Structure 1
Amino acid sequence: MKTKIFLLIGTLLLFTNCAVIRPGEAGVKQTLGKFSNKVSTQGTIFYNPFISKVIKESTQTNNIKLILSLPSKEGLSVNSEISILYRLELDKIPSVLENLGQDYESIITSVFRSASSDVCAKFFAKDMHSGMRAKIEEEIKTKMKGNLEKQADGIDLIAVLMKSIQLPRGLANSIERKLQAEQDAMRMEFVIQQAKLEADRKIIDAEGARDAQKILSEGLTEEIIKIRSIEAFNELSRSTNSKVIITDGKTPFLIETKD
């Protein structure tokens, strides 16, 4: 009976002093409060449950989502949904745990709040809703990275994304009116340009017709008219239709008759 009890206790100890590390995870052994420099991935870690434990952390890309009111240069508040994408560097996980603890996401959030306030205060509210947003995101990311490295090295910031930006109602209406006015101006400019092109086309057509008439009139000399008249008489002589020709010998005037 005692043997069975010892076997049962030994089996329980065997299963309680090992940890399974799954794909996308990393395990760090902590013994008497001190973290091991060895980081284990995808496998089993054996440890003494009385003096040690295994801390598991994700090595995948993580996303911290926030909804904040960001200040602008003119003193307005801009509401925005924020995504902070980060990843723990595998070989530096012990440093992160030692300096920031397992609640390191709260540290990342605090650093973001400070960095975003400093950066956004240098830009106008409309910049956060325009092509300047990418620049604002990059500056926040750079400032966050510098502040985090002062506390712990091992958090790889991938991106800071500002989404669903909501400008103050008055400013949003002003921007819409401005954009509408710009579109109307561009449309009117296009209409004017088309009208100018049409006017130029008519002028070119008129000049072409005038030049053609001028060339034609200059080319119709008396000799040319006589030659054309002779050619016309020759054609008439070969015609089978009956015609009455009234002429002064220079130009014919024809009256066609039917048989």
Structure 2
Amino acid sequence: MDRNLVNAGALLLALVLVVVAANPLTIVGPGTRGVLLNFGKVQDTILDEGLHLRIPVVQEIVPFSVRVQKTDILAQVGSKDLQEVKLDVAINWHADPSRVNEIFQRVGDETQVVSRILNPAVGEVVKAAAAKKNAEEILTKRPELKAEIDDNLDERLAGFGIVLDSVSLLDVDFTREFAAAIEQKQIAEQEAQRAGYVAQKALREAEAEVNRARGRAESQKLLQETLTPEVLKNKVIEAWDGKFPLVYGGGALPFLDAKLLGLPEKVLSPQP
């Protein structure tokens, strides 16, 4: 009887050890989903975060990240005017949580997604978008280029279960010769703008001088039209201080000249 109990206890202990060694419990961590495999075949069931029980040997749970990931890609492209351009593109992306089993089955894990899907897709989309613009337009119209890359890449990746969160053009690099040509053009444009400003300033000053001269001429004309002999006579009378001008003739006594006062022509003699 005791021997049977010992054998039963040993068997139970061995079974426990086998179960522990087989590890039937699996934890799907935060930011991941579990891809369930039965004898290596991908199942439709996707496991959420948490603790899950699996059948040892028969089932396997592969964790797959659904967090946002950043990938930098350097694309060497040709512009519409056949200039060589290097674009440093950064994309933020994540796997669609509802399609991780499909992604794993068609592509593989996250590393294989980058090498097999992201790198080729970004390269092709960037080349197609850059080929529509001249090299200078790639530099001056970066928002338009980014928007086109964003739209086309989003559509391209959606077919593989990849969600595109954002696209950034970190750097645009040209050949040394083309960069020097752009710099010279910018300098020439700045000098032309400066010359145009000087010319506009001179033109405004000339117009102001013409307006001032026209104003002076009109003022003189108006003055001539308003200063009639009668007006001048009145101004003389208004300015008279009450003293009669004396004119000395050949005699001993002075006499008044009425013409100087604008009075009727008669001789006024001062009172003795």
TM-score of the superposed pair, with normalisation by structure 1: 0.77
* Runs of at least 5 residues in structure 2 that lack an aligned partner in the other structure: 1-8, 247-256, 264-272
Distance 1:32 1:245, change over 3 A: farther
Task: Find the counterpart in structure 1 of residue 125 from structure 2.
Answer: 115
Paired position in structure 2 for 1:229: 236
Q: Distance in 2 between matches of 1:142 and 1:88?
A: 18
Which string of whole-angstrom CA distances, capped at 9 and with x for unpartnered residues, describes residues 23-51 of structure 1? x3333322322333343444323323422
**Aligned residue-pair number:** 240
User: CA 1:18–1:244 in structure 2 vs 1: closer, same or farther (change >3 Å)?
Assistant: farther
Identity %: 23
SS of the residue aligned with 1:134? helix
Residue in 1 aligned with 2:215?
208
Where does residue 137 of structure 1 map in the other structure? 146
Alpha-carbon distance in 2 for matches of 1:146, 1:8 = 51
1:92 deviates by 1.8
Q: Deviations over 1:31-85 (max 9, x none)?
A: 3223333434443233234222323233232211122322333444322322122
Q: CA deviation at 1:173?
A: 0.6
* Counterpart for residue 250 of structure 2: none
1:82 to 62, 79, 89: 89
Root-mean-square deviation (Å): 3.2
Kindly indicate whether the alpha-carbon contact (under 8 Å) linking 1:19 and 1:44 is maintained by their aligned counterparts in 2.
Answer: yes
- Say whether the 8 Å CA contact 2:121–2:153 is kept in structure 1: yes
Structure 1 residues 7-16 or 48-57, which shifts more? Answer: 7-16
Name the larger-Rg structure. Answer: 2
The residue type paired with residue 88 of structure 2 is E
| Mean Cα deviation higher: 45-54 or 183-192 | 45-54
Name the aligned partner's letter for residue 67 of structure 1.
Answer: L
Q: Answer whether contact 1:19 1:54 (CA < 8 A) is retained.
A: no
User: Any conservation in 2 of the 1:21–1:40 contact (CA below 8 Å)?
Assistant: no
Preserved contact between residue 21 and residue 42 of structure 1 (Cα < 8 Å) = yes
CA deviations over 1:100-149 (Å, ceiling 9, x no partner): 11121112212222333344334333332221x33333444444455545
Shift of residue 180, structure 1, vs aligned partner: 1.2
Cα contact 2:73–2:122 (8 A) shared by 1: no
Is residue 249 of structure 1 aligned with residue 252 of structure 2? no
Q: Match of 2:172, as an amino acid?
A: I
Structure 1 contact 84–160 (Cα < 8 Å) conserved = yes
**Residues 220, 210 of structure 1: alpha-carbon distance in 2 compared, 3 angstrom cutoff:** same
Whole-angstrom CA distance in 2 between matches of 1:57 and 1:191: 66
**Do the aligned partners of residues 74 and 200 (structure 1) sit closer, same or farther apart at CA in structure 2, a change above 3 Å counting?**
closer
Give the one of 17, 31, 34 matched to 1:9.
17
C-alpha contact 1:73 1:120 (8 A) present in aligned 2: yes
Range that drifts further, 80-89 or 172-181 = 80-89
Secondary structure (helix, strand or coil) at the match of 1:82 reads strand
Between the aligned partners of 2:244 and 2:107, the Cα distance in structure 1 is: 117
1:21 aligns with 2:33: no
Q: Does 1:126 align with 2:133?
A: no
Report what 1:54 is aligned to: 61
CA deviation after TM superposition for structure 1 residue 16, in Å = 5.6
Normalised TM-score (structure 2): 0.74
In the TM superposition, what is the alpha-carbon distance from 1:208 to its structure 2 partner?
0.8
Deviates more, 1:216-225 or 1:55-64: 55-64
Unaligned runs of at least 5 residues, structure 1: 238-242, 252-259
Mapped to 2, the partners of 1:98 and 1:245 lie a distance apart of 125
1:76-97 per-position Cα deviation (integer Å, ceiling 9, x unaligned)? 4322322122222221222211
